Amino acid sequence: MKDRFYFYPSIPRRKIEIIEDRFGDGIDRARVALKTGVPIKAYFYLSQSKKKLTDGRLWHKGKMLVGISPRVLKSRTYLHRLSASAAHEYVHQLRDPKAAKTVLAAAVEEGVATYIETQLFEAPEYLDIKTLNEGMVRVCADKIRAALFDKPSNRRMIWSNEAYREMLYRLGFGIIRRYAKDHPKLSLAALARVPQQKYIRFAIAGGIIKP
């Protein structure tokens, strides 16, 4: 089976070819790194987000909805970032983040996707990777600690507030980066298949998260 891309009328026709090219490149590179042949169907629309360049959401296995900010369509640099965003969403496709039952589990899922995205391409700007040491990761954990073991649906503040959401992504990335450092022989394909709860136990045992 081949990947299939569909475009809502809000996406300018003159941009479709480059979106297909960049997004397809990211999917292909992720597929090789993760050693899987799972095809996707992606549906693209023009989002109104002023902050996020892309907004990927899974409908169910094999289908994803991808919102693209108007800023992406106006910048060749941002269009290039579509490849990284595609790799990120493909990791979610493989792991199914809907299985996350707590905010901490959701952070782990975003961490896996963001870590692999960063290894294949570059770190997204919001990660601020140059200053994201282990101390900063713990600060992120402490700031959202009260929410970590709640259901994601009970903590909509985390998802609706840009600052809190970025802390969640940094926390998740920090957990996976530390796990990868402590398990240097694991490939990206292996990291993508580590069970969610194993990452969580590692984060608690390693002092990243206070139970």
Taking only the tens place, the pLDDT of each residue in 44-76 is 988 876 556 566 665 556 688 888 888 777 777
Query: Does the structure show a pLDDT above 80 at 140?
Result: yes
Domain boundary among 56, 73, 95: 95
Going by pLDDT thresholds of 50, 70 and 90, the confidence category of residue 183 is very high
- What average pLDDT is seen over the chain? 87
DSSP state of 192: T
Indicate the number of domains in the chain. 2
Domain for residue 171, yes or no? yes
- 63 has which bridge partners? 41, 60
First-residue to last-residue Cα distance in the chain:
44
Do 8 and 90 lie in one domain? The reply is yes
- Measuring CA to CA, how many Å separate 101 from each of 80, 105, 130, 155, 196? 33, 6, 31, 12, 10
Do 119 and 67 lie in one domain? The reply is no
Do 106 and 178 lie in one domain? The reply is yes
Do 55 and 119 lie in one domain? The reply is no
- pTM value is 0.90
Domain extent at residue 68: 4-95
Do 109 and 138 lie in one domain? The reply is yes
